[in-house]
Each structure stands twice: as C-alpha cells, then as structure tokens.
Amino acid sequence: MALAPHIVYQTLAAAPIVPVFYNADPNLTCQIIKACYEGGIRAFEFTNRGQNAKEVFKVLREFISTNYPDMALGIGTIFNAAQAEEFIALGTDFIVQPVTSADVAEVCNAHQLAWMPGAMTVTEIYNATLLGAEIVKVFPGNVVGSGYIKALKGPMPQVKVMVTGGVEPTPQSLKEWFSAGVTAVGIGSQLFPKAVVETGQFEEITHTISSLISYYQTLATT
C-alpha cells in the first residue's frame, strides 16, 4: 500500500534531497538505494527510462518495503495516465513528471497519491497547482536559475518547488537553491559518478549524501 501523500511530503520536508536514478540492473540499483538510505535519504526517484523499468521497479519495491519501510519510493518520467496506473499498481509512493498533464493529475488524485508535475513558466506552475499539485517540479533548474525561483516566490510565495536539473551535490549549490526558496531538490547523475558506480564504491555515495544532509540541516536551523 502506498504511503499517504502527507507522509511523503513530511518525509521530503525532513530530508529534502531526492536522488534521481535509473539503471537496468536491479541488484546494482538496490545497492545504490542502500547507500542513499545510509546517507540519510528517505525519498528516492527511480526513472521510467528503460524498456525493463517496470521489472526493475518491482524488485526495488520489494527491497525497500522489506528493508527500509520508512523510505518513499517514487517513479519519474511519467507522461500519461496509463503509465501512472501501471506504476501505481506496482506500489509507487509518488509520481514525478517532466511535464504537467491533467490525466495524470486525475489518476493521482483518485488514488490519493503524491504527485509532483514538471513545469517551467509561471503559468505552467500555477496551472499545476490548480490541478492539485502540492509540490511542483521546476525543470531544468540549470536553465531557469536560482534567481528565477526567488522571483517566482514574489507573486506566488505559497508555491512549493522541487528543482531538478543542474543541482550539484555540493554545499554551495544547496545553499544557492534553498536560499532562493525551494522546498526540495532532485539530484541525478552528478550524485552517482559513473566511475564510482561501476567500481562499486557505494560508500562514497553514502559519504557525499551524509555530508549534504548534514549541511542542509545546518542551513535549516540558521
């Protein structure tokens, strides 16, 4: 059974760094998840970017349910209602989109599932909130920049934003984005250097994440 939306959002509030990852090897991905969890991550986005994404996701769902029941597992790169329904049936806790589509909003609302649609312009962000989004994914972050988020918060201070794309796994990058007003950040390939993943140096990923979580907690209390 999927986590209730408010639990997912509470989880994000406590540890607002979301790894964004895809690999066709379920065993390797489980090792990545383990490294992330040990570093303090509590929400993980697996992306729907490969032919066997559903098969891998099934393994991840079982692995997390068995070992890390307090971790939220989400699916990203969802474009339509059919895809959303498939992964809801597989037990996803939240859905992330690169776009905002009304049919996916309808499915997520009907299933009472946390939904984070993708948007870029102020109009797109506003329309996403009208469809029921509590957190809107702004993508790509490296194109809009942190100044855009700061400006957005002027007329729309209540909007919660998760930025993905261009967020670096460094204290400087976290400070830039959270100071601008984001609620959470998604970090993809930069969090998982190819050389580290291929050589199985998962403790390096754990160390990086632990440092980032600690730094965020310092930011949040100052």
Which of the residues are catalytic?
Answer: 45, 137
CA atoms of 83 and 185, how far apart (whole Å): 24
CB neighbours (10 Å) of residue 23? 17
Helix (H, G, I), strand (E, B) or coil at 139: coil
Q: Are 63 and 90 in contact (CB under 8 A)?
A: no
Largest Cα–Cα distance in the chain?
47
CA atoms of 176 and 32, how far apart (whole Å): 26
* Element counts in the chain: helices (H) and strands (E): 11, 9
Q: Are 139 and 45 in contact (CB under 8 A)?
A: no
Q: Which two tokens stand for residue 149?
A: 């988020």
